[in-house]
Each structure stands twice: as C-alpha cells, then as structure tokens.
Amino acid sequence: MPFPTSDVLAAFGVHLRVRGLGQTLAERHPELAHRIEVTDTAPFYLKVDLDGKRGVVLAHVRFPYTIMWGITGPDLASDNSVWPLETTDEALADAVHALVTAQLTGAPPPSPWRWHESERSDLTELADLLDAQGVTVRRVAAGNVYSLQGPAYAPELVTPSQPVPHVDATVDGHEVRISLKPRLGWMVDLWCPEPEVDLWTRIDLNGTLGRPLSPVPGVSRAALSVDDLAELIGDGPRAWEVEDVGDVQDESADGLGYQDLFLTVLGQLGTFGFTDVYEGDTEDPLRSEHFHIVLHRPEKDLSAPALKALNGEAAAAGDDVPKRLMVITRSGLSKPAAAFADQAKAFVFQLDERTGRLTGLHARAREVLLPRDKPDCQ
C-alpha cells in the first residue's frame, strides 16, 4: 500500500480542522448545532444553514502567495471576512456565529465582530464611537490585520506592508488613518490627493486640542482618551490642525544639492511631528532644542558602542536637561544598536541622499513614518 502523498495528507488535515471547527461552533453556540453542515469530500467547508438554501460558509480561500480562512455570507452584499490560518478555533467559531446571527436577525454583527476582530480593544472602541457619530469606518486592523477589497465576486486580499494597529475612516470626504503606536501612542494621518502626487500628511493632535506642542510625534494613550480622540476625529477637517506636507520625489534623476537635501529632510521631520527641529547653518544644517542631531556619513553600519557614545554626547549637549539623540545616517544600524536606540528613546533614520527620503532603522523610528500605501478605497 503506497504511502499517502503530501497533498492527500494536507487535504486530510484540512478536513479534520473543519470538522473540529464544527464541533467547537456547536459547543460554544448550541442554538446553531442543528444548522451546521460539514462536507466529507473535497472541497472541505463548514456551512451554517439559514433557510434550507442559503448559508454562511467557513472554508480555506486561496489568494496569490497565501491561504486564509474565509467567512462568506449568502449573497454579494454580505460582510465577508478573512482570517489568518493560525486563528484559534474559538475565534473562528464566534466570527461565524456573529455573521449567522446578523443574517437571521437582520441586525449588524456586534462589536468587535462587525470590525472583523475577535477581541475588544481601544481601536474597536474607537470604531464604535466614530460609527455612532456617523463617521464611515472602513477598516479596523488590530488583532486581524487582513481585509478584502474590490468587488465581492472577485475580492483581493489586503495585506498591510507595516501592520501597525489602526482604524481607517472617511470623515466629510477625507480619508484618515488613526494609529495606536506601541511606543509613541496615537497618531492621525490624513490622505491628501493632489493633482500630480498623492501623499499622506499628519494631523497635529496637540495643536488641535489646544495643548502645548510636543517635540516628539504622537500622543500617549494615557494623555488622550478614546472618547476624546473620537470626538476630535468626528469634528471633521475644519477643526484639525494639519502639519505642512513634506513631499519627497523618488524619481529625482540628478539627486539633490546639499541645501535642498536638508530642506527635504527638514520638511519630512516637520510632517512627522518633530516640532522643534529647524534649519541651521552649513556646519549644522539641522538644529533642535530637544534633540542632539548627528549626521553620520561613514558607510559602515552604526554599532551599539558607537551609538552609545553618541547618546552620551547628546546627554551632555543640553544646557539644563540632557538632549535626546537623533541620527541621520547614510549607512545602516546593527541589531544591538537598534535595540539600544529603542531603549534610549533615540531616533535613527537612514537618508537616501539622492531623494532625501528618510527611513526608520529601528522600531521607534519606524513608528513616526507616514503610511506608504494608499487608502484601500483609492
């Protein structure tokens, strides 16, 4: 008797998982037990019957380069969702139950399931509050960062390049992304469709709230409640203070001159929310009262000892209080140096001298960057 092929074993594994999901759904939501159907032949799927003809289906869905769990309703108007393969059986069962209940009752799925999330969080709470104000919430990406776009008959999988927890919403025709960064807190980015170039800029939360400016981007979760943030977003664009747009053209064939290079860097830092970085002179083109800014030109990646030495210089540079370190480098950053940069609350950016674009070289620096992808609705 020949040993089963890998394809046969994989299919059998899917069959066992689907049967297990059916059992979990029946145990967690026994009122649906009589409606559950599980196929015994390929393609394997779980179906919850609605009326003898239509149903809600849970099955593997193949996309280019990956496979996901897909939960689909009985028609094209259903609020379908996708979930990573590692999603727990309990979460998938509850997601199916939420969609089935919505179909049977005619009410929308409850939060957090209506946002395709399996657990409540600050972001699902924010989405609930925005929705109650009439704001169109298009997407919540917290525990489940995957979503669908395009027509229901041919959906495309949206996989964020930087899966930072966020809410995408449309406010008075303007697209905003509200992010909760692990180290820097709340940031709100505004999509600015321009005639020749589409780009993001950032809303100045402290300025909008009438608070003193902070030299560091972001507002901590402790300093801005979800309720206050929802009210601020709901007030709309006329109430927002927006940072100046620091545009970067990646197609600059001839590169930038010295002055234009640092004006481009300065514009980006201002857009990120570094409020006290300003133009200096030829020797020190960037200055700040809060940061000790170092231009690192060697080609060799910065090591942890080198970065610690620069951090010591920053601490000694302040007159009354130590300054924090910001490094603009043409090279990279070693892993130990990146870990130290996060620990020291420094910011290290790599500079593309051809275009002036800044790239974050460690977690804290990456958190201040603007989104690079367009809103899903574009």
Q: What is the DSSP string of 212-263?
A: PP-SSSSB-GGGS-HHHHHHHHHT-GGG--BPPP----TT-TT---HHHHHH
The C-alpha atoms of residue 180 and residue 118 are separated, in whole angstroms, by: 18
What confidence score (pLDDT) does residue 335 get?
Answer: 96
User: How sure is the predictor about 3, in pLDDT bands with cuts at 50, 70 and 90?
Assistant: low
In Å, what is the CA distance from 336 to each residue of 81, 303, 325, 333, 340?
39, 7, 16, 8, 6
The arithmetic mean of pLDDT across residues 266-273, rounded, is 94
Query: Each residue of 335-349: pLDDT tens digit?
Result: 999 999 999 999 999
**Residue with the larger pLDDT of the pair 75 and 116:** 116
Instruction: Provide the b/e sequence for 13-28 (b: ≥16 CB within 10 Å).
Output: ebbebbeebbebbbee
Q: Residue 378: which of 139, 205, 203 has the closest Cα?
A: 139
What confidence score (pLDDT) does residue 9 get?
Answer: 63
Burial of 89 (0-12, 13-18, 19+ CB in 10 A): middle
Give the length of the chain.
378
Which strands make up the sheet holding 198-202, listed edge to edge? 136-141, 166-171, 174-181, 185-193, 198-202
Instruction: Provide the b/e sequence for 165-180 (b: ≥16 CB within 10 Å).
Output: bbbbbbbeeebbbbbb
Q: What is the mean pLDDT of the chain?
A: 90
Angle between helices 6-28 and 89-105 (to 10 degrees): 60
Q: Residue 141: which of 170, 168, 109 has the closest Cα?
A: 168
The arithmetic mean of pLDDT across residues 180-187, rounded, is 95
User: How sure is the predictor about 189, in pLDDT bands with cuts at 50, 70 and 90?
Assistant: very high
Query: Each residue of 233-257: pLDDT tens digit?
Result: 999 999 999 887 766 766 555 667 7
What is the pTM (predicted TM-score) of this model?
Answer: 0.90
Query: Each residue of 283-336: pLDDT tens digit?
Result: 888 999 999 999 988 888 999 999 999 999 999 987 778 999 999 999 999 999
Q: Taken in order 128, 129, 134, 136, is the CA torsion positive or negative?
A: negative
What confidence score (pLDDT) does residue 251 get?
Answer: 59
The arithmetic mean of pLDDT across residues 145-154, rounded, is 84
The C-alpha atoms of residue 202 and residue 198 are separated, in whole angstroms, by: 14
**Residue with the larger pLDDT of the pair 376 and 149:** 149
